[in-house]
């Protein structure tokens, strides 16, 4: 028996949806591209029409996208969902770095993309205290989606965002509208605080908040220490290269205090205490 079960939609039609059995992801969709744009010279944004994915998605989920229309490149590319209308559309933002992302950046409205999702473990969202959101570089997509969701829930949020140079702030789009404060840093000092965003967060953040973050591992390591030392409940979305994206190959596993965990399945969102060393008190950070 095939592992795919079709809905009533004609499977050969654009946007055809397939239920996938015995897996954590919900849907395989041949999703039409409804918008495609370059945000910078090397960062692109796509909006896909994928109703079943959109209706199941939560901040922190990702999708796996086939970049080409042939077997090359073979592996799907994982992308965090950058935005979702909750009804039919999802947005993806990515840096153009190789063959797969070059092919995807060349897609135009009306073309379809073979997409599976939503995948992974999303953020657990709480409304009991203000939120601090931290993103570095292309870690912004799940954080932007979370910012919009928190605003809808009435939870105030502050966003700290670090990029290499001022032009990359275009990736923010309208995210600033969904937070109480936006603090930016640039590596080259062209906008906001000069230097890395982790230095700003370490100076300013503490006390009664919940912290959510996504970005490169050095940033997350700083936030893990901050969560431990200041007793801040913190969730981290990890960026990791993936092969299967559904937990079968173990290729995206990372070391945690509980052994190796798969970023595509147990993650990409983990609590900071999953990375505390054995000498750290597991009771030091409230959930």
Is the whole-model pTM more than 0.75?
A: yes
Q: Which two tokens stand for residue 64?
A: 């796996």
Domains and CATH numbers, the chain: 4-119 (2.40.30.10), 131-275 (3.40.50.80)
CA distances from 220 to 148, 211, 217, 244, 253 (A): 22, 11, 5, 24, 16
From CA 57, how far away is CA 84, in angstroms rounded?
8
40 alpha-carbon distance from chain centroid: 19
Q: pLDDT digits over 45-61, tens only?
A: 999 999 999 999 999 99
Q: pLDDT digits over 92-142, tens only?
A: 999 999 999 999 999 999 999 999 999 999 999 999 999 999 999 999 999
Q: pLDDT digits over 141-200, tens only?
A: 999 999 999 999 999 999 999 999 999 999 999 999 999 999 999 999 999 999 999 999
**Residues 254, 260 contacting (CB under 8 angstroms):** yes
């Amino acid at each position: 028996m095939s592992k795919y079960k079709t809905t009533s939609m004609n499977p050969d039609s654009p946007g055809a949806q397939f239920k996938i059995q015995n897996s954590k992801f919900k849907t395989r969709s041949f999703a039409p591209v409804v918008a495609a744009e370059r945000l910078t010279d090397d960062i692109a944004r796509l909006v896909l029409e994928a109703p079943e994915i959109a209706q199941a998605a939560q901040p922190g989920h990702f999708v796996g996208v086939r970049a080409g229309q042939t077997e090359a490149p073979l592996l799907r590319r994982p992308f965090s969902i950058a935005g979702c209308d909750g009804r039919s559309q999802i947005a993806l933002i990515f840096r153009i770095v190789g063959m797969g992302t070059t092919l995807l950046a060349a897609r135009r409205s009306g073309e379809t993309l073979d997409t599976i999702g939503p995948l992974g473990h999303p953020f657990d969202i709480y409304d009991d205290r203000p939120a601090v959101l931290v993103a570095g570089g292309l870690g912004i997509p799940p954080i932007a989606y979370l910012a919009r969701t928190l605003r809808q829930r009435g939870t105030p949020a502050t966003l700290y965002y670090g990029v290499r140079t001022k032009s990359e702030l275009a990736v923010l789009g309208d995210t600033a509208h969904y937070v109480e404060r936006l603090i930016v840093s640039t590596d080259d000092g062209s906008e906001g605080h000069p230097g890395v965003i982790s230095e700003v967060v370490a100076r300013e953040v503490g006390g009664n908040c919940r912290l959510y973050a996504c970005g490169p591992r050095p940033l997350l390591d700083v936030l893990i220490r901050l969560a431990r030392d200041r007793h801040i409940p913190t969730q981290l979305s990890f960026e990791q290269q993936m092969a299967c994206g559904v937990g079968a190959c173990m290729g995206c596993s990372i070391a945690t205090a509980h052994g190796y965990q798969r970023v595509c399945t147990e993650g990409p969102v983990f609590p900071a205490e999953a990375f505390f060393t054995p000498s750290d008190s597991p009771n030091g950070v409230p959930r």
